[in-house]
Amino acid sequence: MLLQTTTNTDFTARLSKAVAQHARDDSGPGTPQVAVRAERLGIDARVGDPRGRFHVASVGKLFTATIAMQLAERGDLDLDAPLTSLLPANELAGLFTVRGTDHAAAATTRQLLAHTSGVADYFEDRVTDGPRLNRLLVDEPDRTWTPGDLLAVTRERQHPVALPGVKFHYSDTGYVLLGRILEERTGTAFHDLLHERLFTPLGMDDTFLPYRSRAANDGDGPVDVDPGILPVRLGRTDIAGFRSLTIDWAGGGVASTPDDLLAFSEALHGGRLLSPASLEAMTTMQHRFRPGIHYGTGIMQLRFGEFSPFLRGYPRPVGHTGILATHVFHDPVHDAHLVVNFGATTAMRRSVLAIIAIERMLRAAA
């Protein structure tokens, strides 16, 4: 329920103006979707459709990481156990082989979460032959990708980037392995785990894994249908109705809404999903992804001062970003939760500028 206060009304008006300044025709949903909730400041503002379903891209890594940490808390998953004790040998074969030696026994779940396992990235990294997957996503729109298909790309057409534990290298392949580990440890399909552990308990009734599950608000029915999400622009192509969106799975294949993602962010940072120790472990930054973005264990941190010296002293929100200019972050200084969807690969810079504008507004409201 939106707070109807003078503070919130004024904030919403300024938010709408700020978002409009950074919107362009290439934004997937038309008007970008933005939601900001900071109860302590009396702010609960929306721009765009708060219940419009959109592809969250790598924001979904937060869900995978959270479930992994939950299993670790229960003693059902040892984050430091070798992957060879967690997955069948045929799934790991070739993924960690460097100069003829298989190093899968040195790779761990913790490394997968933090992108330090050395495994290549099926989506972004070069391939030894044939088209890259982001090309196949467009060229083969009716193709359904399985986790096994995705692992095969890395196994057959890519090489490891490093030995396990040596360097940070962002890897969607690593998150496919994480999804499979969660399935093996629980005996439950990954999409069912998402609903059982997160979506259903948190009332995220418009959130689902397209082509694999349905949103609770849609009731029973087939899952293998067009998910009916807002436009998803990969370059100039709207891929929202492409079955090939299954190319993303445990690394970020979920569709959700701003309101549902606010519910998740509040639960994660409010102690409803993880113990304080587990959340601290996730949010302890270990590596710099790129200037202004640091990475912990399945979670990012924005450091605005690295974008510009004029932004030094700004809060350091934690959450995750997706390639489609999708963002979910928690600003610990103002206890504010931010959800942003520009829905286009070309809109990343403008979506980050919108987040900076939001932080500036929160500082003014505090």
pLDDT tens digits along 242-298: 999 999 999 999 999 999 999 999 999 999 999 999 999 999 999 999 999 999 999
Contact (CB, 8 A) for 32 and 354: yes
pLDDT at 282: 98
333-362 tens-digit pLDDT: 999 999 999 999 999 999 999 999 999 999
Phi, psi values for residue 198, rounded to 5°: -125, -60
Q: Domain 76-186 in CATH: superfamily?
A: DD-peptidase/beta-lactamase superfamily (3.40.710.10)
Sign for the CA dihedral angle at 56, 173, 295, 114 comes to positive
Global pTM reads 0.96
CA dihedral 317, 263, 268, 315 (to 10 degrees): 10
CA neighbor of 318 nearest in space, from 339, 332, 297: 332
Query: Which residues does residue 300 pair with via DSSP β-bridges, in sequence order?
Result: 295, 319
Query: Could you count the other beta carbons within 10 Å of the beta carbon of residue 263?
Result: 22
DSSP labels for 197-217?
A: IIITTTT-TT-B-TTT---GG
Which residue has better confidence, 232 or 25?
232
Contact (CB, 8 A) for 8 and 35: no
- Any idea which residues carry the catalytic annotation? 58
Length of the chain, please? 366
Model confidence band, residue 50 (pLDDT cutoffs 50, 70, 90): confident
Answer yes or no: is pLDDT of 327 > 70: yes
Mean pLDDT of the chain: 95
SS3 content of the chain, % helix, strand, coil (to 5): 40, 15, 45
**H or E element at residue 156:** helix 147-157
Rounded to the nearest 10 degrees, the angle between the axes of helix 276-283 and helix 61-73 is 140
C-alpha distances in Å from residue 334, one per residue of 131, 281, 304, 346, 356: 45, 21, 15, 30, 14
pLDDT at 6: 59
For domain 6-60+200-365, give the fold: Beta-lactamase (3.40.710)
118-136 tens-digit pLDDT: 999 999 999 999 999 989 9
Q: Kindly tell me the burial class for residue 327, based on how many C-beta atoms sit within 10 Å of its own C-beta (0-12, 13-18, 19 or more).
A: buried
CATH 3.40.710.10 residue window(s) in the chain:
6-60+200-365, 76-186
